[in-house]
Amino acid sequence: MSPIITIHASHRNVGKSFLTANLAVLLAKQGHRVSIIELDFISELPMLFGLDPVDLAQQWTALQQPGNILPEAAWLSVGEGAIALLAGGGKEVHPVSGFSLVEQLQSQPQANRLGEDLTRLIPHLNADYILLETFPGFNEEGFLAFALADVLVFVLNLNAQDYQDTAVFIDLAQRLQVDQIALIANQVLPEVNAEQLVASLINTYNMPVWGALTAVKPVEHSAYPNLLCQAHPNHPFSQGLQQITAKLLELRP
């Protein structure tokens, strides 16, 4: 079974989509087929890959029909690998009480449409890795994606609200018995000591911290095929993400 990596954040503007796009490219450059399933209907991912959100939504619908598979034309070649982006997010995302949803998922784990859709979809993707990019914050689709994850990655910025929300998210994920949880600090200013920050986060949450990624300037937010990790592999952000990619490569034999 392809590892499912759910990528979540407590709010917008933490750089989650940019991180996901570059991470997918780095995995693909290692020769893997990477499917990104976008559950956030206002994500930047379609723009970053130059794809039409309407086409992506139609493709998602078609894949729910018995016997349909993802056509090779949907895959973007990246090095020896490839990337496919699917849009699964609806236009209504319902805020929920995280703890009440945990109880619901534990008592009726197959009773949600998103879970059923993904269960049908994933075997037909022929992907080595599945990246689930969630709608940020406390909402139903996000917590359902928690429950499906082999690895749950929380992306946070350095502010009090993110620190507090991340603690709650970790508690919820542990109640859902997620196999592996990791943290990534994103948009870290260059003057911050990354090693000290990582040590502080580990001490605060008692969770693995996969990296502290340097802030990227708006002018560096280029789209595929000139994403930052492609155009500037020696950029501190790219190098930090390469280390995170190495951790994901360990998930497969």
Of 143 and 49, the one with more pLDDT: 49
Q: How far is CA 49 from CA 27, 67, 223, in A?
A: 15, 27, 6
The answer to whether the CB of 13 falls within 8 A of the CB of 43 is no
pLDDT greater at residue 2 or residue 195: 195
Asked whether residue 186 carries a pLDDT value surpassing 60, the answer given is: yes
More confident residue, 52 or 103: 52
pLDDT, tens digit, for every residue of 91-139? 555 555 455 555 555 555 444 566 677 777 777 788 999 999 998 988 8
Give all domains of the chain, ordered by start, each with its CATH number. 4-147+159-248 (3.40.50.300)
Weakest mean pLDDT among 12-16, 18-22, 85-89, 172-176: 85-89
Closest CA to 151 of 40, 45, 2: 2
Q: What are the pLDDT digits (tens) for 196-245?
A: 999 999 999 999 999 999 999 988 888 999 999 999 999 999 999 999 99
Q: Quick one: pLDDT at residue 97?
A: 47
Mean pLDDT, the chain, as a whole number?
86
Amino acid in the structure at residue 97:
S
